[in-house]
Structure 1
Amino acid sequence: MLSTRRKFLTAGGAAAALALGGNLPEIRSAAAGWTGRADRRDPFTLGVASGDPLPDAVVIWTRLAPDPLAPFGGMDRRPVEVQWQVAEDAQFHRIVRSGATRTGPEASHSVHVDVRGLRPWREYWYRFRVNGRLSPVGRTKTAPAYGAQLSELSLAFASCQAWWEGWYTAYADMARREHDVVFFLGDYIYEFGIDRGIRPGSNEPHITRQTVTLDEYRQRYAAYRMDPDLQSAHASAPWVVTLDDHEVVDNWADEAHPSAPPAQFRVRRANAFRAYWEHMPLRLSSLPKGPDMQLYRRFRFGRLAEFSVLDTRQYRSDQAYGDGTKAPGPETKDPARTITGDAQEKWLLDGWAASQTRWNVLAHQTAIARLDTKEGPEVLVPMDTWDGYEASRNRILGGAVQRKVRNLVSIAGDLHRNVASDLKLDFDDPASATVGAEFVGTSISSGMDGQDLDPGGATLLRENSHMKFGNFQRGYVSCRVTPQQWISDYRVVDKVSVQGGTVSTRAKLLVEDGRPGIAEVQQ
C-alpha cells in the first residue's frame, strides 16, 4: 500500500497525502468590523456558495485561489484568517452572524462555515473578507421549521456539466429564478482527458489530461468553478449536492474499477473525494476519511416535502454482466446485489416509515425506471442504472408501498436526456400498480447541443409504456411544489455550443397529491 500511495501522490508532495486524512481548523468568533489593507490579488476567483440548509443553519463556502489553476490556487503554505458575515439584507445593514476562521493548504484554502442560530425559512446574504478583499455576495435560505405548514417550495435540479462541451447558459437562467434550493445530482466534473472542445482553453493540459492525483482533481474543479454562470447559480440559492461516477472515474463501483488494482483505486478515490469536499458547500460531517465519505442524508421542508439524498456509487455491487447495455438476467435479479448498500437501504426505508410529509422525494444519480433501449420484443437495459440492480429497485419501490409512503417522487440525472416516467411496482407488467413519478433531468452541457428528440429517445418512448416524456436537449428542471401538486418545468437551451443561447420551457409535467404517477404533460 505504501508504494501505491507514493505512485499516486500529487506534484504538491505532502499535500496530496491529506486526501487520506487530517483535521481542519475550527471556526472562532470575531468582531463584525472589518479593517485592513487590500491585497492586489483577488482571492475569490472561484466565487461563493451555500448549501445543506436546515431550519437554523446553512453552510457557506469559498476557496481562496488568486491563481486558481496553480497548485494550492496560488496561495502560499501559510494559514490565512478569513472573516465572514451573514445578514438579513443584501447591503449588510442588518448583520445577524459574523466570525472568522482559519484555512490553509491542508484544505487547499477552502472555507466551510456552518452558520448556526439562523431563523427558519428566511433569506440571508453572506460574504467573506481576506487581506482587505471582499468576496462576491451570495444569497441563501434556511429550511422551514420541521412542523411548518408550507404553502409552496421552489426547487431546481441539474447534473452533468462537461465544461468543454458547452456553455453554462442554463445556469444563468437558473440563477435568475432564485429558487429556494438547488439539487445537483452528479457529474460536477469529468475526470477523463479530451482531444478537443468547444470552449476556448479546451486544449490546455489541465483539461486534456486525465485526473488521478489530488492536485489534478483540484485543478479540474477550479477550471469548472471559474465559470461565471456556474458561480451565479451557486450564489443564487443553497445547493444540496451528491456525486456520481465522473467525480472519480467513469462507472466506478465501490472499490472496484478496471483502471487500477483495488489498493491503487482507493488512493485515487481518496484524492477525488478530498477535492470534491474542498469545492462543495458541505458540512464537516461529510469530510472524507481517506477513501470514504458520508454523503447520503435527509432534508425536510416543513410538512410539505422530505428529500432523501442518495449515494449510489460508494456502496454498490459491481455492474452486472461486465457493465454496458445487456439483457436482464439472474445477475440483475440477484437479491445479494445492491446499488445502495444494506445500511443506506435501511436508512431510506426507516426514514420513509417515519415520514409525515406530503411529498417524499428520492434525490439521486440515475433513473430508477426501466429503460428498454432495444426496438422490438428483446429487452436491453443499461447495467449502470437501477436496471442492473433489479432486486434493489424492487426492495425500494416495494418498501415504499409497504410503508404507505405518500406521493413518491424521484429526481435524477446521468442520462444526458430529459425523461419522465411513472414508477411501476413491476416493470415486467405494464398493468402493474403505479407507485410514484420520476423526473430525470438532462445535462447542463454534456453531449453538446442535442436535439428535441433523437432516435434513441424515440425508441425509449416506444418501448417503455411507463415513459411519458422524452427530450434530448440540454438544460435543467425547475419545480414548484404545493400541498396539492408537483409541477416539473423542463427548461431547455436551444444551443450550448455558443454563448447566449435561448432558454425556454419544453414541457410542464404535473403530479397530483394522492395520485401516484404523472397526471398531465403540457408540451
Structure 2
Amino acid sequence: MKHLSKHLLVFFLLVFLTSFTNNFAQIKHISYVDYLKNQGFQLNENLAPFYHGVASGDPMSDRVIIWTRVTPSQNEASNADWKLAFPVNWKIATDTAFSQIVKSGDIATDELKDFTVKVDVTGLLPNTTYYYQFEAFGKKSMIGITKTLMDDDSQEPVKLIFVEGNNYSAGYFNTYKRINELKNVDAVVMLSGYINEGETAETLIDRREIPAAEPSSLKDFRFRYAQYHLDNNLMETHAKVPFIAIWKDQSLKGSKEQAANWDNKQKAAEQAFLEWMPVRVKNGELHRSFSFGKMLDLILMDTNPTEQVGMVASTEMAVVKPAPFIEQIHYDWLTKLLNNSTANWKILTTSNLFGSINNASLDSGTGNDIDRWDNHPAEKTQLLEFIKAFSLKNVVVTNGGFKAALANEVAVNKADYNPTAGKYAQLVEITLPSVTTPSQIDQNSSAGIQTEVRCLNKTYNPQIKMANFKDHGFVEMNISLKRIDVKWNFIKDIIVDNQSKLKSTVQLSIPNGKSTFE
C-alpha cells in the first residue's frame, strides 16, 4: 500500500506539473490585448491600438501637451533581458485634413511608461485651435482637438468647466456627455478625484472597478486610469477640450491602516497620474498656474493632509509625521503670484473646503470627515489677511474636495462682513458637486434635504448663498471683465447610461470688484 501511495503521489504531481506548465505557456503566449480583456477591460477594436483615445492638457499661449496610450498586441514584460519599446509618430495641424501641419515628430514609449505617450508641443500661436493625431503600427488614432491660451494682453472672455469626483462604479459619467454638448470651452479643470482610489462601490449599476479592491500598487493605479480613459463620454471630452488636472489622493491621507506601505502607495498613485494625464510637472511640484491674458490667472494650490503617516525605519512602527498644511515655499509662491498678477480675475483651486459652515446647521457626520481650511485657522487667516492688506480684488476660490455645491462668501472676521452695508468678503468660494462620487447626502441618508435648508438658514450661515448636498454635475464659468457668471449644472441621472438631461441649474454672478454673489 505504501508503494501504491507513492506511485499515486508521483502520478498526481506529474499531472499538476503538466497542467501548470501548459497554463503558464498559455499565459506567456496570450496576446497583451487578450490579457487586458480577461482582466475586464472593454476594448473597442475599431480604435486599436489607441484604445484609450487621445487627450491634451496644461495649455499655455505657445504650447500644449498631447497624450495617448498605445496598446501593443504583445507585451514582453516577462522577458528580463529587454523591455518592449517602439516609436510613435505625432502631428499637429490647423485643419482636420492635416494639410497645414505645424509640428510633427516621433517619440518612443515602452512598458516602463505603461505605453503612454506625452508630447509637450511648443512654438504654437496663442488662442488658436489645433488638431492632433498619433500613428503606430501602421494605424492612426482618432483626431483630437485642443486650443492654446490667450496672449498676455488679451481681454477675450474665458469659458471654463470645473469638475471633480469621478467614481466608475458609483454611476455613469453622464456629466461628461452633457459637457460634450457645450461650445467654445477653453479648458476643463479637474479639481480632484479623477479616479476612485477606494474599492468598488455597491450601487445599482453594473460597473465594477479594475481592480475591484482598493488599489495599492503601481499596476493597480495604472489599471484604474486605463479603465476610466475607456469610458466613452470621458474619452470624448478628452478628445475635444484640453484638461487642467490636479492630483489629490484623498484616500491616502492619514491612513493609519496603510501605514506600512503609505509612502510606496502614494508614489505609485502619483506616478500613474503623471503617466496617464496630460500634465506638465516640473521638479515634482504639482502646484502651477495658467495665464488667460489680462482676463484671468488660474492658480492651482497644493495643500498637505493634516497628518502624514509613515514608518520609523529603526523600529518599523507606524508614526504620525506632522506636516504643514501649506508649505512656506508654496505660500510664498502663491502670495507672490497674487500680488504681481495683472489679470482682472484670480481663481485659486483647492481640494479643501475654504469657507466656513456652522456645524449646528449640519447633521452629525455630514462633512465632518473633510479636511477643511477651518482645521488650519492660522494658514487660513494668514491668506485672508494678505488679501485684505494688499486690497486684492476679484479673488475666487474653487473647491473640489467637499463633493457638494456651495456658493460661499469668505471674510476675515464676521464683524467686517455685511454685504448690504457695502462690507464685502475678502473672496468668494465655489464648491463643486461630484461627477459620480457619493456626496455627503449619498453617504449619510439621515441628512436629507433638510441639511440644505439649515445650511441656507441666515441665522446659521449668512455667508452661504446656495447649497446642494445631494446632486451630481459640474460648474460652468463664463468670465468677462464685468463679471463671472457661475452656473451649477445638476445632471438628472447617473444610474442610466448616456443621459445628458439636467435635473436643475443654479446661476449666480460675481460682479467685478465685489466679493459677493448676485
Please give the alpha-carbon distance, in whole angstroms, between the structure 1 residues aligned to 2:362 and 2:471: 25
**Is residue 34 of structure 2 the alignment partner of residue 47 of structure 1?**
no
Aligned position for 2:506: 507
Query: 1:427-476 CA deviation, whole Å, 9 max, x = no partner?
Result: 58754741121111100011289699723333322232111001121100
Q: Secondary structure at the match of 1:176?
A: coil
250, 268, 271: which one pairs with 2:268?
A: 271
**Is residue 380 of structure 2 the alignment partner of residue 393 of structure 1?**
yes
Q: Displacement of 1:143 after TM fit?
A: 0.8
**Contact (CA 8 Å) 1:474, 1:492: kept in 2 or not?**
yes
CA, structure 1 residues 423+78, in 2 after alignment: closer, same or farther (shift >3 Å)?
same
CA, structure 1 residues 430+453, in 2 after alignment: closer, same or farther (shift >3 Å)?
farther
Please give the alpha-carbon distance, in whole angstroms, between the structure 2 residues aligned to 1:71 and 1:408: 52
486, 495, 498: which one pairs with 2:496?
A: 498
191, 194, 197: which one pairs with 1:191?
A: 197
**Contact (CA 8 Å) 1:453, 1:470: kept in 2 or not?**
no
Q: 1:97-136 to 2 correspondence within 5 Å?
A: 97-136=103-142
CA, structure 1 residues 268+91, in 2 after alignment: closer, same or farther (shift >3 Å)?
same
Aligned position for 1:413: 400
Query: 1:118-173 CA deviation, whole Å, 9 max, x = no partner?
Result: 0001111111111111111111110111222x231011000001111111111011
Q: Secondary structure at the match of 2:172?
A: coil
Please give the alpha-carbon distance, in whole angstroms, between the structure 2 residues aligned to 1:229 and 1:369: 32
**Contact (CA 8 Å) 1:425, 1:435: kept in 2 or not?**
yes
Please give the alpha-carbon distance, in whole angstroms, between the structure 1 residues aligned to 2:245 and 2:107: 23
CA, structure 1 residues 307+40, in 2 after alignment: closer, same or farther (shift >3 Å)?
closer
**Is residue 169 of structure 2 the alignment partner of residue 158 of structure 1?**
no
TM-score normalised over the length of structure 1: 0.79
Aligned position for 1:466: 463
Query: 1:327-368 CA deviation, whole Å, 9 max, x = no partner?
Result: xxxxxxxxx974222111111001111111100110221321
Q: Secondary structure at the match of 1:271?
A: helix
Please give the alpha-carbon distance, in whole angstroms, between the structure 2 residues aligned to 1:60 and 1:198: 36
Please give the alpha-carbon distance, in whole angstroms, between the structure 2 residues aligned to 1:377 and 1:93: 60
Aligned position for 1:310: 301
Q: Displacement of 1:195 after TM fit?
A: 5.8
For residue 418 of structure 1, what is the amino acid of its counterpart? A
214, 221, 226: which one pairs with 2:230?
A: 226
Aligned position for 1:366: 352
Please give the alpha-carbon distance, in whole angstroms, between the structure 2 residues aligned to 1:312 and 1:145: 29
CA, structure 1 residues 271+84, in 2 after alignment: closer, same or farther (shift >3 Å)?
same
Please give the alpha-carbon distance, in whole angstroms, between the structure 2 residues aligned to 1:455 and 1:98: 57
189, 211, 218: which one pairs with 2:215?
A: 211
Q: Secondary structure at the match of 1:114?
A: strand
Unaligned runs of 5+ in 2: 1-44, 309-321
Aligned position for 1:329: none
Please give the alpha-carbon distance, in whole angstroms, between the structure 1 residues aligned to 2:408 and 2:88: 47
For residue 171 of structure 1, what is the amino acid of its counterpart? Y
Identity rate, percent: 24
**Contact (CA 8 Å) 2:355, 2:429: kept in 1 or not?**
yes
Q: Displacement of 1:388 after TM fit?
A: 1.0
86, 89, 92: which one pairs with 2:98?
A: 92
CA, structure 1 residues 455+377, in 2 after alignment: closer, same or farther (shift >3 Å)?
closer
Please give the alpha-carbon distance, in whole angstroms, between the structure 2 residues aligned to 1:383 and 1:493: 24
CA, structure 1 residues 397+382, in 2 after alignment: closer, same or farther (shift >3 Å)?
farther
Q: Displacement of 1:108 after TM fit?
A: 0.6
CA, structure 1 residues 196+359, in 2 after alignment: closer, same or farther (shift >3 Å)?
same
**Is residue 413 of structure 2 the alignment partner of residue 426 of structure 1?**
yes
CA, structure 1 residues 426+382, in 2 after alignment: closer, same or farther (shift >3 Å)?
farther
Please give the alpha-carbon distance, in whole angstroms, between the structure 2 residues aligned to 1:305 and 1:196: 41
For residue 355 of structure 1, what is the amino acid of its counterpart? S
CA, structure 1 residues 455+243, in 2 after alignment: closer, same or farther (shift >3 Å)?
farther
Q: Secondary structure at the match of 2:456?
A: helix
For residue 505 of structure 2, what is the amino acid of its counterpart? R
Q: Secondary structure at the match of 1:77?
A: coil
Q: Secondary structure at the match of 2:193?
A: coil
Q: Displacement of 1:373 after TM fit?
A: 3.0
Please give the alpha-carbon distance, in whole angstroms, between the structure 2 residues aligned to 1:278 and 1:376: 40
Aligned position for 1:146: 152
**Contact (CA 8 Å) 1:371, 1:381: kept in 2 or not?**
no
CA, structure 1 residues 241+41, in 2 after alignment: closer, same or farther (shift >3 Å)?
closer
Q: Secondary structure at the match of 1:97?
A: strand
- Pick which of 230-239 and 458-467 moved more: 458-467
**Is residue 474 of structure 2 the alignment partner of residue 476 of structure 1?**
yes
**Contact (CA 8 Å) 2:492, 2:504: kept in 1 or not?**
no
Q: 1:371-386 to 2 correspondence within 5 Å?
A: 371-375=357-361, 384-386=371-373
Q: Secondary structure at the match of 2:169?
A: helix
Aligned residue pairs: how many? 443
For residue 434 of structure 1, what is the amino acid of its counterpart? A
Q: Secondary structure at the match of 1:177?
A: coil
Please give the alpha-carbon distance, in whole angstroms, between the structure 1 residues aligned to 2:194 and 2:106: 29
Q: Displacement of 1:44 after TM fit?
A: 1.2
**Is residue 337 of structure 2 the alignment partner of residue 346 of structure 1?**
no
For residue 336 of structure 2, what is the amino acid of its counterpart? D
Q: Displacement of 1:505 after TM fit?
A: 5.1
CA, structure 1 residues 357+41, in 2 after alignment: closer, same or farther (shift >3 Å)?
closer
Please give the alpha-carbon distance, in whole angstroms, between the structure 1 residues aligned to 2:486 and 2:453: 21
**Contact (CA 8 Å) 2:424, 2:515: kept in 1 or not?**
no
CA, structure 1 residues 94+376, in 2 after alignment: closer, same or farther (shift >3 Å)?
closer
Q: Displacement of 1:504 after TM fit?
A: 5.5
Aligned position for 1:454: 449
Unaligned runs of 5+ in 1: 1-38, 287-292, 320-335
CA, structure 1 residues 363+311, in 2 after alignment: closer, same or farther (shift >3 Å)?
same
For residue 210 of structure 1, what is the amino acid of its counterpart? E
**Contact (CA 8 Å) 2:361, 2:454: kept in 1 or not?**
yes
Please give the alpha-carbon distance, in whole angstroms, between the structure 2 residues aligned to 1:71 and 1:266: 29
**Contact (CA 8 Å) 1:338, 1:391: kept in 2 or not?**
no
For residue 208 of structure 1, what is the amino acid of its counterpart? A
**Contact (CA 8 Å) 2:393, 2:514: kept in 1 or not?**
no
Please give the alpha-carbon distance, in whole angstroms, between the structure 2 residues aligned to 1:67 and 1:223: 18
TM-score normalised over the length of structure 2: 0.79
Q: Displacement of 1:500 after TM fit?
A: 3.3
Please give the alpha-carbon distance, in whole angstroms, between the structure 2 residues aligned to 1:394 and 1:217: 36
Q: Secondary structure at the match of 1:397?
A: helix
For residue 300 of structure 2, what is the amino acid of its counterpart? V
**Is residue 341 of structure 2 the alignment partner of residue 355 of structure 1?**
yes
CA, structure 1 residues 121+436, in 2 after alignment: closer, same or farther (shift >3 Å)?
same
**Contact (CA 8 Å) 2:433, 2:474: kept in 1 or not?**
yes
**Contact (CA 8 Å) 1:442, 1:475: kept in 2 or not?**
yes
Q: Displacement of 1:406 after TM fit?
A: 2.2
Q: Secondary structure at the match of 2:426?
A: strand
Please give the alpha-carbon distance, in whole angstroms, between the structure 1 residues aligned to 2:71 and 2:497: 26
Aligned position for 2:286: 295
CA, structure 1 residues 207+459, in 2 after alignment: closer, same or farther (shift >3 Å)?
farther
Q: Secondary structure at the match of 2:203?
A: coil
Q: Displacement of 1:387 after TM fit?
A: 1.6
Aligned position for 2:24: none
**Is residue 435 of structure 2 the alignment partner of residue 444 of structure 1?**
yes
